[in-house]
Copies of this chain bind each other. A is one copy, B any other.
Amino acid sequence: MADVAKLAGVSGQTVSRVVNGNDRVTAATRIRVESAMKQLGYRANIAARALATGRFGTIGVVMFNLSAVLNVRIVEAVVTGAQAHGYSVSLAVVDGPTEKDVRAAVRGLTDRAVDGVIVIEARVLDTPHLRLPEEVPLVIADSRAAHKHPTFGMDEAAGARAAVDHLLELGHDTVHHVAGPAGSNPAQRRRAAWQRQLKRSGRAVPPPVAGDWSPRSGYDAALRLLAGDDVSAVFAANDQMAVGVLRAAAELGRRVPQDLSVVGFDDLDFAPFLSPPLTTVRQDLATVGRRCVEHLIARIEAPPGAGPAQTTSRFVRPELVVRESTAPPPGRTR
């Protein structure tokens, strides 16, 4: 920077002003400085700037695992949004399912120099109300409003209700459930909503079978479920497991949808091309991610005394997409 200043015949401070956009600098001076910068290939040292200003231009994302298609969509939207606002994104993966682990990850990130943090809380933790250090603004991506921090997510309950209602309206007596893993937040919520909706409709609530989101677990679950003859409708907690259910049905000679109706969750891109095309609940995670970053960046850039940023909690409503894997139960026409 000193070299640039010398070459342009100004002080370092003026160079700094040029770099940081428009303070009051004469057009002529600015041009001189800029050409000097270009000539010398000057590039600001972020660490020095951060040390002087206390801001880093980075936001941190804490998540439990990247392999879940779900989470990746959120992360993608976060990265895109952050880049659009001139921030970069730092990723941290949490080890275990306790609040302590999450807190450690957040602290690691703040130590690491971020201006804000987004926690994608997909796992069921030991504490229902996640309390995290607030050294920097923090936003949670989760599907419930029970947090002390601003939260954005999907209205999973609405999705599960839509799935159940759809099957009941087709005339099924009840709906069986292939649940996600007990340790997963979304899984728990989908399962609870399924159960509540059945009860509310005065139907029997058959014991759910839990999988681990994988197609294999859906297959195994369905094999057990379909051992009995009375199952006419299955609601799988995600599309991947629904694939397994479809496969199990095929192997057991149960035709879908004539003998068995199947509903998934997520609307992954292959859903319309399964055999048969899968009725499922579409989630718009990109919107969730976008809202998270935008809220976070607004808080980061808000003037210091701007009050305790209203803890908005917005939940995106998923949408039932009816395809060909659902029909009235056997022996019944509607």
Question: What is A's interface to B at a CB cutoff of 8 Å?
Answer: 43-48, 50-51, 56-58, 65-67, 69, 72-73, 75-76, 79-80, 83, 88-93, 107-109, 111-113, 214-216, 218-219, 240, 243-244, 246-247, 250, 269-270, 272-275, 277
Contact = CB atoms under 8 A, between A and B. Distances in A.
B76 A65 contact: yes
A277 B218 CA distance: 15
Max count, chain B CB within 10 A of own CB: residue among A80, A107, A272, A274 = A274
A109 B88 contact: yes
5 contacts: A43-B107, A47-B47, A66-B76, A69-B69, A270-B270
A216 B269 contact: yes
B269 A215 contact: yes
A105 to B, nearest CB: 10
B92 A214 contact: no
A244 B273 contact: yes
A28 to B, nearest CB: 27
A187 to B, nearest CB: 17
Q: A-side binding surface: helix, strand, loop or mixed?
A: helix
A275 B274 CA distance: 8
Nearest to A49: B47
A47 B44 contact: no
A302 B215 CA distance: 44
A49 B167 CA distance: 60
A83 B83 CA distance: 23
Max count, chain B CB within 10 A of own CB: residue among A67, A109, A214, A277 = A67
A277 B247 CA distance: 9
B111 A43 contact: yes
Contacts of A91: 75, 79, 88-91
Nearest to A69: B69
Contacts of A80: 93
Contact of A45 (B51, B90, B246): B51
